[in-house]
Every structure is written in C-alpha cells, then in structure tokens.
C-alpha cells in the first residue's frame, strides 16, 4: 500500500504566482486547491501585503507624474 505523501513545500516563485493571480482574480479551482495544500499561509500574507504596497506605490507615482506634468490641469 502506498502511504499518503506529505505536501511538498512551495517555492518563492509559486507563492508569488499565486498572489499575483489572486490580485487579478484569475484562479482555477484546481490550482486553488493545490495552493491551499502547498503554500505557507504566512508567505501568502507577506506576499499580499508587499504586492498591495507595490500597487499603492505605483499609483502614487503615477498620480504624482500626471499632476507634475500638467496633464491634470
């Protein structure tokens, strides 16, 4: 009989990919189920916070660029 395999650990790339696809709202249910078993929740939370901070930072830079260039006048 085969013993159940313990879930293997995920890599940084897998965590980043899961967070990015989640930000975009594009996840297949099979991928979601696999991620639930493989990904470390702490890594996903950290990736989500960093992703959100990067997104907000890009928005701030974009607004400053638009206001500074006079396009918003």
pLDDT of amino acid 32: 83
Alpha helices in 1-73 (DSSP H): 12-24, 29-38, 41-69
* 46-62 tens-digit pLDDT: 999 999 999 999 999 99
CA distance 57 to 62: 9
| pTM, two decimal places | 0.73
List the structure tokens of 44: 């996903």
Largest CA distance in the chain: 73
* 22-44 tens-digit pLDDT: 888 887 888 888 888 899 999 99
């Amino acid at each position: 009989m085969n013993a159940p395999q313990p879930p293997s650990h995920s890599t940084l790339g897998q965590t980043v990919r899961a967070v990015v696809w989640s930000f975009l709202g594009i996840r297949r249910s099979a991928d979601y189920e696999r991620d639930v078993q493989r990904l470390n929740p702490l890594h996903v939370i950290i990736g989500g916070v960093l992703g959100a901070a990067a997104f907000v930072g890009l928005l701030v830079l974009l607004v400053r660029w638009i206001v500074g260039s006079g396009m918003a006048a």
